Structure 1
Amino acid sequence: MSYKQTRLGILGGGQLGKMLIQAAADLNVLCKVLDPDANAPCKVLTNDFIQGKLTDYQTVYEFGKEVEVLTIEIENVNTEAMEALVKEGVRVFPKPSIVREIQDKRLQKQFFQKNSIPTAEFVLIENREDLAKYKDFLPAVQKLGKEGYDGRGVQKILNENDISKGFDAPSLIEKLIDFEKEISVIVARNENGEVKTFPVVELVFNPVYNLVEYLFAPANISKEVEQEANRIATLIVEKWDFVGLLAVEMFLTKDQQVLVNEVAPRPHNSGHHTIEANYVSQYEQHLRAILNLPLGSTHAIMPAAMVNLLGAAGFSGIAQYENLEKVLALEGAYVHLYGKAVTKPFRKMGHVTLLDQTTEGLHSKVDFVKHHLKVVSDEYS
């Protein structure tokens, strides 16, 4: 079998696409990118950047006709155009039917239920009025079926007083889980059916904005929990006949049960650290999977942490990075700035991967980055 240069189309030009292009260069993959933002992070890394709407059928169809393989770095894309491209011989991964299922959290949950994948008990509802019918189901978390991401479209409905603030759109409510911690497994599968999982990571979320603030890899969990998390992630990709990279976010309950929260069919925030911390990064692994190449070793080189650089509260404007030089001087710190010109409160502007031989060392470095590196601007509101 011989290997030749491939033309890869990426739907979405954000930071995930940017890091995917960086990995693609090492495999001699030519990348073409579509994104609605004329100044998307990917633009500086490719000579073949198209500005256009990801949800428009014709735009996606015309874009995809010019590539051999098409993938995504965001779920909000036109799957009908992707299906038409498959019929014309373009290799599209993940499959459009799977992307459509994942786009709607209601369909996601039904897939889990149908395939005996452990997840929180849930009920589908059509509008805010339906919430009142399930008062006995509370406390719960309401999730919009579509268009929720990065903590948006998710809210707690703890009691009857919260019903009035419920989303008035097709959604689901799921039992509020009294979990011990949130964990994530990134799993890859190629067309040959080869499957590999990255070590389980432990996520720490911002309690207000429901965004990952930082993570530790590997997670501080038992061997039994690790095996169960990997079993579930593998089961999901095999049941879906999934090709590519899938991030599986999970809850670990206080009685050590593993429940799937949701999935993302692409490189993910919980895998950024793999660029420096593992033998193969999640980005290279995604490329290997969709090009049907042998999957790389996911073993960790060293324990790691990852801190998201979020726009500081109250600042909106041209981004400035306070104390960047202090973090760059920290041993085992790797700074990734995404190239977004404008910062907004809690916008993902970059991340820092931290390596250390000890858990204590990682915690110390996480605290250092959190307290020193700030994303601000001259404009304060």
Structure 2
Amino acid sequence: MKIGILGGGQLGRMLLQAAFNYPVELHVLDPDPQAPCAAATPYFKTGNLQDEAAVYAFGKQVEVLTIEIENVNVAALKRLQAEGVKVYPQPEVIETIQDKRRQKQFFEEHQIPTAPFVLIDYPQELYKHEGFLPAFMKVGKGGYDGRGVLLMRTAKDFVHAFEAPSLLEKAADIEKEISVIVARNEAGEVRAFPPVEMVFDPQLNLVDYLLSPAQITNAQAAEAQAIACRLIEAFQMVGILAVEMFLNRDGSLWVNEVAPRPHNSGHHTIEANYTSQYEQHLRAITGMPLGCPDSRCPAAMVNLLGEAGHQGAVYYRGLKRALARKGVYVHLYGKAETKPGRKMGHVTIIDDNLQSLKASIRYIKEVLKVESRPADSAPA
């Protein structure tokens, strides 16, 4: 079976790695000839993911087409679907999720708990909603990895407002941020992974590390999984859906955002779960039975981000020290160049003891650094 992936980043690379165990041929389209997938498959092509002709031509060569990034040309996907190519997730799902305004309206229409919000077409409209503050302004289209989000504490912050159509979302009283990965296949079988707890870097607004399972009650975990299952059923989506949620201090759960693809909050599943999110996505889009998503053991995932002040040829300081620690699995994404805050890899840690697991998180964050050095430097 020929499968096409729109996007050749690290998520596509890990999907390729999972696919090596199955009788499938994966083709990849990405605008960057040096993308992480480029060296991982002979079927790599360069092309603009927003160009309708390029996406359509690529999709005509495969039987199943999927994504590892939402910013793709939906018109081409709709044409391909109409002509018999299986496009998973479906173009209508991608189109809804591409626009945070439509995404929030979808939650509301299907009784999915989410933060109260109002739609903002022009910055001047913000002054009608001063009583809604504090709140977050989120641009409808184009925001990614924390970009396109502004905290509005008072009306004085309105001068920084986005000019594009946006939404104003009531600030949640957050106790924890969690994520549930859920999958659905062509037959309608649904399986949810255990919730994970995400801890964010306050400067970069990216996940710093996560804990699996999340340190929440069994009832809260079950509710989070139930919400994720309801949501993927509402979309009637085929594939993997990452559902990010706020656990508020009053015990309520609000869906924040969703991603219709493998996700940063599921990296740990490669080592820590019976079925990884990547294998599960592959199973879902090819009509295979879904695998067991349960955890094998407690785990953590630490993102490896480019260090501040470093840009250029990548050098992994402390790699040998990190690899010497029990239960540590290093995943590097094959990116030759680093820059501050760039996702360069991740480390999964497995440990049955929560306290020593947290100690290993601190150790990895202390010893393993992504820096820039001459290309001939050896890892330390």
| Structure-2-length-normalised TM-score | 0.97
Q: 1:221 maps to what in 2?
A: 216
C-alpha deviation, 1:132, in angstroms: 1.9
Q: Which residue number corresponds to residue 323 of structure 1?
A: 318
Per-residue deviation, 1:50: 0.8
Amino acid at match of 2:214: A
CA distance in 2, matches of 1:278, 1:378: 35
The residue that corresponds to 1:3 in the other structure is none
What pairs up with 1:119-158 in 2 under 5 angstroms?
A: 119-158=114-153
Distance in 2 separating the partners of 1:177 and 1:89: 43
Q: How far, CA to CA, are the matches of 1:183 and 1:285 in structure 2?
A: 20
> Of residues 148, 160, 167 in structure 1, which corresponds to 2:162?
167
* Alignment pair present for 1:332 and 2:327: yes
Asked if 1:371 corresponds to 2:366, the answer is: yes
Q: State how far apart, in whole Å, the 2-side matches of 1:172 and 1:294 are.
A: 39
CA-to-partner distance for each residue in 1:217-272, whole Å, 9 max, x for gaps?
Answer: 00010111111101100000111111000000000000110100000000000000
Tell me, yes or no, if structure 1 residue 66 matches structure 2 residue 61: yes
User: Which residue of 20, 25, 36 maps to 1:25?
Assistant: 20
Matched residue, 2:29: 34
- Does 1:50 pair with 2:31? no
SS in 1 for 2:92: helix
| Matches of 2:165 and 2:325, distance apart in 1 | 47
Alignment-mate amino acid for residue 6 of structure 2: L
Instruction: Give the letter for the 2:276 counterpart.
Output: S
- Give the letter aligned to residue 359 of structure 2: S
Which of residues 93, 105, 111 is equivalent to 1:116? Answer: 111
* C-alpha distance in 1 between matches for 2:18 and 2:86: 19
Q: State percent identity of aligned pairs.
A: 58
DSSP 3-state at the match of 1:94: coil
Structure 1 SS opposite 2:3: strand
Q: Is 1:85 equivalent to 2:77 in the alignment?
A: no
Structure 1 residue 378, shift from structure 2 partner = 3.6
Question: Is 1:297 equivalent to 2:292 in the alignment?
Answer: yes
- Which residue does the alignment assign to 1:350? 345
**Partners in 1 of 2:202 and 2:172 — Cα distance?**
15
In the aligned structure 1, how far is the partner of 2:333 from the partner of 2:122? 37
> Out of 222, 227, 234, which is 1:239 matched to?
234
Q: CA deviation at 1:307?
A: 0.1
- Aligned Cα RMSD in Å? 0.8
Amino acid aligned to 2:353: T
Which consecutive unaligned segments of at least 5 residues does structure 2 have? 375-380
Shift of 1:88: 1.1
Q: Secondary structure at the match of 2:115?
A: coil
Q: Which amino acid aligns with 2:337?
A: V
Cα distance between partner residues in 2 of 1:16 and 1:127:
35
Q: Which residue number in structure 1 is paired with residue 206 of structure 2?
A: 211
Distance, in Å, in 1 between the alignment partners of 2:285 and 2:329 is 27
Q: Aligned-pair distance for 1:171?
A: 0.6
Question: What CA deviation, in whole Å up to 9, does each residue of 1:79-112 have, x standing for no partner?
Answer: 1100100111111100000000000000000000
- Quote how far apart the aligned CAs of 1:128 are: 2.0
Structure 1 unaligned blocks of 5 or more: 1-5
Shift of 1:299: 1.3
Secondary structure of residue in 2 paired with 1:319: strand
User: In 1, distance between residues paired with 2:271 and 2:303?
Assistant: 15
Aligned-partner Cα distance in 2 for 1:210–1:87: 39
Runs of 4+ in 1 over 3 A off after TM superposition: none
